[in-house]
Amino acid sequence: MIDAINLHKSFSGNKVLKGLNLTIETGVTEVVIGRSGCGKSVLLKNIIGILKPESGQVVIDGQDVTKLSGKDLKALRMQFGMLFQGSALFDSLTVTENVGFNLIEHTDMDKQTILKRVKEALSLVGLYGIEDLMPSELSGGMKKRVGLARAICMHPKIVLYDEPTTGLDPIMADAVNDLIMTLHKKLGVTSIIVTHDMVSAYKIASKIAMLYDGKIIAEGSPDEIKNTTDPVVKQFITGAAKGPITQKENFNRNILTEGA
Amino acid sequence: MPFKKIISNFKKRFKTLLNYMGGAIILLLETIFWSFIPPFRRRQLFDQMYKIGVNSLPIVFLIAFFTGMVLALQSAYQMQRINAQMYIASLVALSMTRELGPVLTALVVAGRVGAAITAEVGTMKVTEQIDALETLATNPVKYLVVPRFLALIFMLPLLTVYADFVGMLGGYIVGVFKLHIGSNMYMNMTTSPLDLKDLYTGLLKSVIFAVIIAIISCYEGFRTSGGAEGVGRSTTLSVVTSFVLIIAADCLFTALFYFIGR
């Protein structure tokens, strides 16, 4: 179970998370939706401990991530896989070295075993025969899938996805959705997906949470979210340009300009 | 009040400076710490040594060779008046080993290698590759900074020795073929005033310069934000900061050696 308790995080005075609470049960696929720049990626990075919150805790199976360091943090990270928005493949390494990074760095497996594991991970994401290519030779969709293969190569218990479908064409986006669902079924992992792609959210989520103004303002099954009466959530999921979210932003902007 | 504004502005800048220095020093300490923690990445270290050392040989050759020639010609202008041309050799040898060898090599390497390191690390930062390293349970300082740091510490002194010799060769060519000093005479006058101390003070300086280049260029890389423009900005900053610090450190250590050496 992952428990984020009262998280606060700001960047140079700009408060991004303002007392966020979120509980994610083991084995579910939780989708966090919200506008660009509302702090979704920051939430993920707090969960995996790349960023430390100013206050609050992230408790994973009884361990407080914010207090871990050194070996404990390393051990915890080995249970995680993360897919980054831009894939974040190491561009000086080949596909094999990227996917097998953890195996090469942190285990004493021999080359043959590593290659086997890499091929296995790549076949899970539907890629064959690209082991020796460099990331610059891959298309955007392929990079995403290699990134995903890297995330699952160590057989993690928790996989974090930072906007897995952003920047892909609709067909490739749906293929990635299918992939996330297949992996979930095959590996039985807990998945946390951050996205603003509602099609994808409805398709893969067992639960959807909406992040707005630094807090989770609504949480429920895809159907519950679809039939929400909350005007903020409704504006976001229907993608309307006018509504409480934009009203508040305009209001804030007016105050700022008047103040200056 | 403008005076108050100046004071608060000054305070702000001072705070930024302290912040920067603190960050760089912490990075230096972390790097030294991780240098002693296994596993040691021999392949990466050799890769970096090749990139930093071997690939810098041509440009260091050109710079040192021309500098040696210029030194000989400029001193000839003075020495000929007092009929003391034979001291040109000693002058070139001493200036190269004590001063120009270490400093010019460091500046060339800061421009060539330091900029490349900042651009690479900075690009990794803005494309989240540094974050990815952390999620893969790998310390970015250990993985990225340590090999570059060690490679610079090994290679910069070697490049400096090379520059010293090439500089003397430049001086020799001018001295023997243009100023008609005898070859044996020139070589004698090169080696006789040279002390081992001259060489190793120069080398000690070059180790300090290597630390400056490695830490500043990696630190600037880690601080990068804001896409391609950010990478450009931090690369410029990295080279400028390294240059200034190299010259400042040179001044400090030359003074130090001068007073100790007496």
pLDDT bucket at B262, cuts 50 / 70 / 90: low
Please determine, for residue B63, whether its predicted confidence score (pLDDT) is greater than 80: yes
Most confident of A157-161, A177-181, A223-227, B66-70: B66-70
Q: Is residue B3 part of a domain?
A: no
**How are the residues of chain A apportioned to helix, strand and coil, as percentages rounded to the nearest 5?**
45, 25, 30
Cβ–Cβ under 8 Å, residues B104 and B250: no
pLDDT tens figures, A13-40 = 788 888 888 888 888 889 998 888 788 8
Interface contact B135-A74, CB threshold 8 A? no
- Average confidence (pLDDT) over B64-82: 91
- pLDDT for A257: 63
Give A-chain residues touching B133 at CB under 8 angstroms: 90
Cβ–Cβ under 8 Å, residues A143 and A135: yes
Q: Looking at the 3D structure of chain B, how many domains does it have?
A: 1
pLDDT bucket at B82, cuts 50 / 70 / 90: confident
- pLDDT for B118: 96
Cβ–Cβ under 8 Å, residues B214 and B152: yes
- pLDDT for B37: 86
Give B-chain residues touching A106 at CB under 8 angstroms: 137-138
Rounded distance between C-alpha atoms, residue A61 and residue A26, angstroms? 9
Please determine, for residue B156, whether its predicted confidence score (pLDDT) is greater than 50: yes
Interface confidence, given as ipTM, is 0.85
Please determine, for residue B56, whether its predicted confidence score (pLDDT) is greater than 90: yes
pLDDT tens figures, B14-32 = 999 999 999 999 999 999 9
Q: Is residue B45 part of a domain?
A: yes
Q: Which residue has the tokens 């679809």?
A: A226
**Interface residue ranges in chain B relative to chain A, Cβ cutoff 8 Å:** 124, 127-129, 131-138
Give A-chain residues touching B134 at CB under 8 angstroms: 48, 50, 77
Rounded distance between C-alpha atoms, residue A128 and residue A136, angstroms? 17
Give B-chain residues touching A86 at CB under 8 angstroms: 127-128
Q: Classify the C-alpha dihedral B79-B83-B89-B94 as positive or negative.
A: negative
pLDDT bucket at A3, cuts 50 / 70 / 90: confident
DSSP state of B9: H
Please determine, for residue B49, whether its predicted confidence score (pLDDT) is greater than 60: yes
What is chain A's mean pLDDT, rounded?
A: 86
Report the run of H or E that residue A42 belongs to, with start and end. helix A40-48
Contacts of B78 (CB under 8 A, 6+ apart): none
Q: Is residue B69 part of a domain?
A: yes
Q: pTM for the full model?
A: 0.88
Q: Is residue B28 part of a domain?
A: no
Please determine, for residue A260, whether its predicted confidence score (pLDDT) is greater than 50: no
Q: What are the φ/ψ torsions at residue B183 (nearest 5 degrees)?
A: -60, -50
Query: What percent of chain B has a predicted confidence (pLDDT) above 90?
Result: 66
How is A202-218 classified by DSSP, letter by letter? Answer: HHH-SEEEEEETTEEEE
Rounded distance between C-alpha atoms, residue B89 and residue B172, angstroms? 7
Cβ–Cβ under 8 Å, residues B131 and A50: yes
pLDDT tens figures, A124-147 = 888 888 888 999 999 888 888 899
Q: Is residue B33 part of a domain?
A: no
Please determine, for residue A258, whether its predicted confidence score (pLDDT) is greater than 90: no
Task: Give the residue on B whose Cα is nearest the Cα of A90.
Answer: B129
What is chain B's mean pLDDT, rounded?
A: 91
Q: Is residue B7 part of a domain?
A: no
DSSP state of A156: -
Contacts of A110 (CB under 8 A, 6+ apart): none
Q: Is residue B5 part of a domain?
A: no
Give A-chain residues touching B135 at CB under 8 angstroms: 48, 50, 77, 80-82
pLDDT tens figures, A33-92 = 888 878 888 888 898 888 888 888 888 888 888 888 778 888 888 888 899 988 899 988
- Average confidence (pLDDT) over A95-105: 90
Query: What percent of chain B has a predicted confidence (pLDDT) above 70?
Result: 99
**Interface residue ranges in chain A relative to chain B, Cβ cutoff 8 Å:** 45, 48, 50, 74, 77-78, 80-82, 84-86, 88-91, 101-102, 105-106, 150
Contacts of B88 (CB under 8 A, 6+ apart): B72, B75, B76, B79, B171, B175, B179, B181, B189
Please determine, for residue B178, whether its predicted confidence score (pLDDT) is greater than 90: no
- pLDDT for A225: 86
Rounded distance between C-alpha atoms, residue A149 and residue A81, angstroms? 9
Q: Is residue B202 part of a domain?
A: yes
pLDDT tens figures, B104-124 = 999 999 999 999 999 999 999
To 10 degrees, the CA torsion angle through B110, B113, B119, B123?
Answer: -140
Domain of residue B103, residue span: 41-257
Position with higher pLDDT, B200 vs B150: B150
